[in-house]
Amino acid sequence: MRTADRIASLPPYLFAEIDRKAGLKRAQGIDVISLGIGDPDRPTPERIVEAMGRAIHVPRNHQYPSYAGAPSYRKACSEWMQRRFGVDVDPDTETLALIGSKEGIAHLFVAFVDPGDVTLVPGAGYPVYYTGGVMVGGETYWMPMTEENGFLADFESTPADVLGRAKMMFLSYPNNPTSAIANEAYFDRAIAFAREHDLLLVHDNAYSEIGYDGYRPPSLLERPGARDVAIELFSCSKAYNMTGWRVAFACGNAKAIKALSTVKSNIDSGVFTAVQDAAIEAFAGPPSEIDELCAMYQRRRDLVMEALGKIGIQAAMPKATIYIWAKVPEGYTSASFAEKILEEADVIVPAGSAYGPSGEGFIRISLTTPDERLEEAVARIEASL
């Protein structure tokens, strides 16, 4: 049996490798604390679980779902965009149900990238922006992200010969892994750049609901002209503690939505309709629920930031997302520091370099762990230093 070359050229999925190492420790009876994957520890709100309970008893929901998403789901997505951002998207032509944003990201490569085409990818970003390209024989150009540029991916320095072959550009603010946020001027420059170079701009807005100190992340589609060049991805995963449900949506440019929909209808058969019904309930939630979620993460953020400050590890105070992007101490690389923490403190923190070349020199700490465990983890890191 011979597998495709693309399998050999994929790096192991970031968290699969971390899980393997932690599994070995746990098998020895060691209490490993994971500050690794961004997977909310709190359950899905009861009102959403109840909606699922009702939807699962509807026989129609047991049949194949609509490929693009039920009309009621796409309408709910569109209404949510209007309520939340004041953005109008047509439910039929400008929205598309996704089996999680990850699925949408991977399939965008099938829709837009031919072998040899280039995708502009944030220097530190969600791993599928890179692996999605590998899957289709595309090339990746890593846009530099530095502390000095506020971790705003620098697309403007892309060499002309690369740009000539580029088809698609990913951005994601509030950002995973750096927790950086972007302002309107940056979005406007990205839109103008995509227009000038005939690129699809994909804005992955997975953390649109998770902001602190009064900050509410915007939608790229609020910006003038965005819809001419861009689509945006939203997900129930982080906003409603629904990572296991696999439900998200894409919205924006109709041509891009149609291309992605064409690919998907040949690969998957859509999101379980009962899950779409649950997501409709999710979008209808009271703002107080999101406020409470953000307050919880904000408390954890403050707790970890204070503890890191005490042990001399530097990190910028996040305004959004569920991550702290911390600098590794002098004398370590990202990987050697992450390795030391796993070996000596039994704490999992991903090396920044695993997110791309701009991640070197950093580790990412996820706040999706209960307070006591977070405190314990930081105390163990301190003891290991």
Ligand X SMILES: *Cc1c(COP(=O)(O)O)cnc(C)c1O
Size of the site for ligand X (CB under 6 A): 14
Among 135, 248, 256, 259, binds ligand X (CB under 6 A): 248
Task: Compute the least distance from the CB of residue 206 to ligand X, in Å.
Answer: 4
Q: Is 241 in the site for ligand X (CB under 6 A)?
A: no
Among 101, 208, 276, 358, binds ligand X (CB under 6 A): 101
Among 32, 180, 204, 252, binds ligand X (CB under 6 A): 204
The CB-nearest residue to ligand X is 100
Which one, 81 or 381, has the nearer CB to ligand X? 81
Q: Is 218 in the site for ligand X (CB under 6 A)?
A: no
Which of the 8 DSSP states describes residue 8?
H
Among 34, 219, 243, 353, binds ligand X (CB under 6 A): 243
The two tokens of residue 238 are 């982080």
Residues 113-172 touching ligand X, rule: CB under 6 A, are 126, 172
Maximum Cα interatomic distance, the chain, rounded to a whole number of Å: 61
Which one, 78 or 172, has the nearer CB to ligand X? 172
Q: Is 69 in the site for ligand X (CB under 6 A)?
A: no
**Residue for token pair 């699922």:** 52
Among 145, 206, 279, 294, binds ligand X (CB under 6 A): 206
Q: Is the peptide bond before 177 cis (omega within 30 degrees of 0)?
A: yes
Per CB under 6 A, the segment of 40-48, 97-105, 158-166, 192-200 that binds ligand X is 97-105
Rounded Cα distance, 249 and 84, in Å:
15
Q: Is 235 in the site for ligand X (CB under 6 A)?
A: yes
Rounded Cα distance, 264 and 252, in Å:
17
Write the burial class of residue 383 (CB in 10 Å: 0-12 exposed, 13-18 middle, 19+ buried).
exposed
Q: What are the start-end ranges of the H helices in the chain?
A: 5-9, 14-27, 46-55, 71-85, 101-112, 128-135, 160-163, 184-196, 226-229, 236-239, 254-265, 273-283, 287-310, 334-345, 371-384
List, as one string, the DSSP characters of 69-134: --HHHHHHHHHHHHHHH-----TTTSEEEESSHHHHHHHHHHHH--TT-EEEEESS--THHHHHHH
Among 74, 102, 223, 364, binds ligand X (CB under 6 A): 102
Site for ligand X, rule CB under 6 A: 38, 100-102, 126, 172, 176, 204, 206, 235, 237-238, 243, 248
